[in-house]
Amino acid sequence: MKKRSFILMAFCMLAIGSTCLGQEKQAAIQGTFSKEQLKANWEKFNKDDGFANLVKDVKGKGFAMLEGSSWGFEGSLPDASGKEQPVLFCAYDFYNPKAAKGQGCSMIWKSVAGRVYKAYLVFPEGEKNIQAALKGGMEWYADDNAKIQRAHSWGSCFLKCVQTNGSAPGIDVDIKSGKVKVGGKSYTINCTTGCYAGAIVCSGIAAGVAVGGVSVPFAIAILAVCTSGTCLPCMALCSLGCM
């Protein structure tokens, strides 16, 4: 556990020194969850039958939780009529200890106005490139009956959203005004090319994160922590706008 914490601390220090914005800057943005809140949310999510089935499936495929590598926020978004709707997003990273080239996996919980999407994504072994990792990722979600189903949408949608300045299927309906409120502050959505460039750099940094000698080339929370300083509105928008 200590070794993992040290490695992730080193990762955050590296992120702050790069063009990405690391944990120190992220913490200044109210509304992003603390380590304790993320842990409490994880325990709460696990009481949901669908999410618990997803966790069982992830562990059954040989993945172990990457301690300390999680990210999330809560806030509100105006719908098409202007009414504020509560939103929440959390991502928790896992790694494959048996993958020689390193392999990441991320579990996500997304809630927009009470509509929940819970899923996990397994990224290609050894893939460090953000575009190839998200396009090549395999996705599963839990349906309303807690059954696990294949999906193909969230990862590719998230990538397209970041690349195209906030273009995602759920955005026109749920986030029409282009603003997100997090921690009482209102942010204008802007997925500039700088955010995508930062994401590319951060996906490279992720390749340096290792646990017990096994690398984690790419995972959602690692990417989000690294980029979510000035890019928080973009990351929030794209996380919420995709299903």
**From the first residue on, what is the mean pLDDT of each consecutive set of 10 residues in the chain (243 residues)?**
32 28 26 89 98 98 92 79 82 92 93 90 89 90 96 82 66 48 58 70 63 74 75 77 73
Relative to beta strand 179-182, strand 148-151 is unpaired
C-beta neighbour count of 36 within 10 angstroms: 8
Contact indicator for 62, 97 with CB cutoff of 8 Å: yes
Q: What is the Cα–Cα distance from 92 to 37, expressed in whole angstroms? A: 13
Q: How far is CA 10 from CA 17, 46, 85, in A?
A: 11, 29, 37
Q: Which two tokens mark 111?
A: 């809630």
Q: Which two tokens mark 206?
A: 């992720």
C-beta neighbour count of 53 within 10 angstroms: 16
What local confidence, expressed as pLDDT, does residue 57 receive? 98
| pTM for the model | 0.79
Contact indicator for 223, 199 with CB cutoff of 8 Å: yes
